[in-house]
């Protein structure tokens, strides 16, 4: 990533993060009793949690991996906590503001307002803890999503194709060796003809992945027609060239604005992530240019990490597009936001003759929790004409 881009990005994120934390901290502080050392303990704990995720990421870059894992893991849960704390405190403030003019809240709530604030503070803690616990359990329980697709095209000697597709693994401190090994076991049990990774295989920081060789289990994937992958935005955040070299060392064929013919039966195209220009200054090729030499009589499968401009997918005659990136918001109610941003935030969509599937992903970014969707491995059973 360019230094200037990193500085601007980090400054904006840190400012927003700090303001949200201060907003929550201030409400929590004045909800607690002023006597004794309760507020002092609260301030110390809050301060540690505030810096945990940021400190953990810097420790990863400094290669203090053992300490980094503790801080990053703790801080990642705090990211989820402040999200729900923020929503709950905001709701409380809105109700209080409306009540100032409409007086619809029961009077007994204000008879002992200090006690009411303490009860609300404890309630917010219980609700947030319950949601995070449920989300962590859910994020640790991937499901197999099965999808049948019929294409009105011949594919050489193939009558069918069993594809297993996974997006957004985010291998790193939170998604380590054991979870990758678990993923590989799931995939191999599905007996795929081909495995496709639709971007964000690696999280931002590659050094911890290399140090523990977290991606090593991927070498054990068994797919006769090969294992292919594309870059996602997180490969570019952490340094795409190094990430690509590492993935290729695991016998994964990287498609970088290229199109290949597999077994003379179908075309497989893979695009660079659309954020390539933001992080490297380079430009990715147009889809038309990537597939210009492809045999149009054969089926065309496209990997594109971010599911934008799906009209081009249909226009260019893509038969199947596989994408990820959205996480479908990952944490409820952010799924409502991703539904507004993307034409298809999660799941199957048919546009003309194009079959499009956007996966909510296998791993997580930031908080290791999922609410509103489960991590998934997608099995596509494709049948060809004849």
- Provide the pLDDT for residue 153: 95
Kindly tell me if the per-residue pLDDT of 161 is higher than 80.
Answer: yes
> What is the CA 131 to chain-centroid distance, rounded?
19
- Vertex 190 angle, CA 188 and 191, to 5°: 70
- Provide the pLDDT for residue 212: 95
Q: Closest by alpha carbon to 136, among 329, 327, 330? A: 330
Could you please report the per-residue DSSP string of 277-314? HHHHS--PPPHHHHTTTS-TTS-EEEE-SS---HHHHH
Q: For the chain, where are the alpha helices, taking DSSP H only? A: 3-31, 38-61, 65-102, 108-111, 113-139, 177-189, 206-212, 233-238, 240-249, 276-280, 287-290, 310-315, 335-341
Ramachandran sector of residue 191 (left: φ over 0; alpha: ψ -120 to 50; beta: rest) = left
Q: Does domain 143-384 have CATH number 3.30.750?
A: no
Residue 74: pLDDT band by 50, 70, 90 thresholds? very high
- Provide the pLDDT for residue 251: 96
pLDDT digits (tens, 9 = 90+) for 14-59: 999 999 999 999 999 999 998 889 999 999 999 999 999 999 988 9
Kindly tell me if the per-residue pLDDT of 2 is higher than 70.
Answer: no
Q: Closest by alpha carbon to 203, among 176, 178, 184? A: 176
- Provide the pLDDT for residue 1: 52
- Provide the pLDDT for residue 106: 86
The contacts of residue 85 (CB under 8 Å, 6+ apart) are 24, 28, 124, 128
- Provide the pLDDT for residue 10: 75
pLDDT digits (tens, 9 = 90+) for 243-301: 999 999 999 999 999 999 999 999 999 999 999 988 888 899 999 999 999 999 999 99
At 103, list the tokens: 């007086």
Backbone angles phi, psi at 38, to 5 degrees: -60, -45
Residue 5: pLDDT band by 50, 70, 90 thresholds? low
Cβ 228 vs Cβ 194: under 8 Å:
yes
Q: How many CA atoms lie within 13 A of 323 on its CB side?
A: 30
At 378, list the tokens: 């997608």
Residue 112: pLDDT band by 50, 70, 90 thresholds? confident
- Vertex 184 angle, CA 181 and 188, to 5°: 145
- Provide the pLDDT for residue 310: 96
Residue 110: pLDDT band by 50, 70, 90 thresholds? confident
Question: How do the domains of the chain map onto residue ranges?
Answer: 3-138, 143-384
Query: Which comes out higher in pLDDT, residue 278 or 334?
Result: 334
pTM: 0.92
Ramachandran sector of residue 347 (left: φ over 0; alpha: ψ -120 to 50; beta: rest) = left
The span from the first CA to the last CA of the chain, in angstroms, equals 48
Kindly tell me if the per-residue pLDDT of 156 is higher than 60.
Answer: yes
* Chain length of the chain: 386
Q: Mean pLDDT in the chain? A: 94
Least confident of 97-111, 142-156, 279-293, 347-361: 97-111
- Provide the pLDDT for residue 265: 96
- Provide the pLDDT for residue 18: 95
Query: Which comes out higher in pLDDT, residue 364 or 114?
Result: 364
- Provide the pLDDT for residue 113: 83
Cβ 229 vs Cβ 202: under 8 Å:
no
């Amino acid at each position: 990533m360019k230094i200037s881009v990193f500085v601007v990005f980090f400054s904006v994120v840190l400012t927003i993060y700090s303001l949200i934390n201060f907003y929550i901290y201030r409400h929590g502080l004045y909800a607690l009793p002023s006597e004794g050392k309760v507020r002092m303990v609260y301030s110390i704990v809050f301060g540690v949690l505030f810096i945990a995720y940021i400190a953990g990421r810097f420790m990863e870059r400094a290669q203090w991996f053992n300490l980094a894992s503790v801080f990053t893991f703790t801080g990642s849960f705090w990211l989820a906590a402040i999200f729900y704390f923020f929503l709950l405190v905001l709701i409380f403030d809105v109700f209080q503001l409306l009540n100032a003019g409409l007086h619809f809240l029961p009077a007994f709530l204000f008879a002992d307002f200090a006690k009411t604030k303490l009860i609300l503070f404890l309630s917010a803690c219980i609700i947030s803890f319950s949601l995070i616990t449920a989300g962590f359990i859910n994020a640790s329980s991937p499901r197999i999503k099965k999808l049948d697709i019929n294409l009105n095209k011949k594919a050489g000697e193939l009558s069918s194709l069993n594809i297993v597709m996974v997006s957004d693994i985010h291998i790193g401190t939170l998604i380590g060796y054991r979870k990758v090994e678990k993923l590989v076991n799931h995939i191999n049990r599905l007996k795929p003809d081909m495995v496709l990774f639709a971007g964000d295989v690696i999280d931002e920081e590659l050094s911890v992945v290399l140090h523990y060789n977290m991606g090593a289990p991927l070498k054990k994937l068994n797919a006769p027609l090969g294992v292919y992958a594309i870059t996602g935005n997180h490969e570019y955040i952490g340094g795409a060239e190094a990430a690509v070299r590492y993935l290729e060392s695991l016998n994964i064929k990287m498609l970088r604005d290229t199109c290949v013919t597999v077994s003379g039966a179908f075309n497989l195209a893979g695009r660079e992530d659309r954020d390539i220009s933001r992080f490297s200054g380079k430009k990715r090729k147009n889809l038309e240019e990537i597939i210009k030499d492809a045999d149009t009589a054969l089926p065309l499968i496209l990997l594109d990490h971010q599911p934008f401009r799906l009209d081009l997918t249909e226009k260019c005659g893509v038969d199947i597009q596989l994408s990820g990136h959205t996480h479908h918001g990952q944490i409820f109610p952010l799924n409502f936001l991703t539904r507004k941003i993307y034409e298809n935030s999660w799941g199957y969509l048919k546009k003309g003759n194009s079959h499009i599937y956007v996966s909510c992903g296998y791993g997580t970014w930031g908080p290791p929790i999922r609410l509103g969707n489960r991590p998934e491995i997608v099995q596509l059973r494709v049948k060809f004409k004849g």
